[in-house]
Amino acid sequence: MKSIVNWINPILAGIVAFLGLLASSRAADGAFYYGGLIVFLACIVFIFMSVGRYYDRRDAMLAHQHK
C-alpha cells in the first residue's frame, strides 16, 4: 500500500500543478495569477522532493544489503 502512495501523491501534485497554471493563465487579477504560480511551484518542489526521497531510500537499502 505504501508503494502505491509513493506514486499517487506525485501524480496528484502534478494535476494540482496543472490546475495552478490554468488558474494563473486565466487570472483576472494579481491574486489569482501569483497564487496559481505559487501553487505550481510548490507542487513541482514536492514532486522533486518525492523523487529524491525515493532514490535516498533506494540507496540506503542497497547500502544496507552490501554490508
* Torsion, CA 48, CA 50, CA 56, CA 60, rounded to 10: -170
The C-alpha cell that represents 40 in the structure block? 505550481
Task: Please give the angle made by the CA atoms of 1, 55 and 6, to the nearest 5 degrees.
Answer: 25
**Model confidence pLDDT, tens digit, residues 24-66:** 999 999 999 999 999 999 999 999 999 999 899 889 988 888 7
Cβ(20)–Cβ(32) under 8 Å? no
Q: What is the pTM of this model?
A: 0.84
Q: Rounded to whole angstroms, how far apart are CA atoms 46 and 52?
A: 10
pLDDT of res. 1: 62
The C-alpha cell that represents 21 in the structure block? 497554471
- Per domain, the residue ranges of the chain are 2-62
Cell 488558474 belongs to which residue?
23
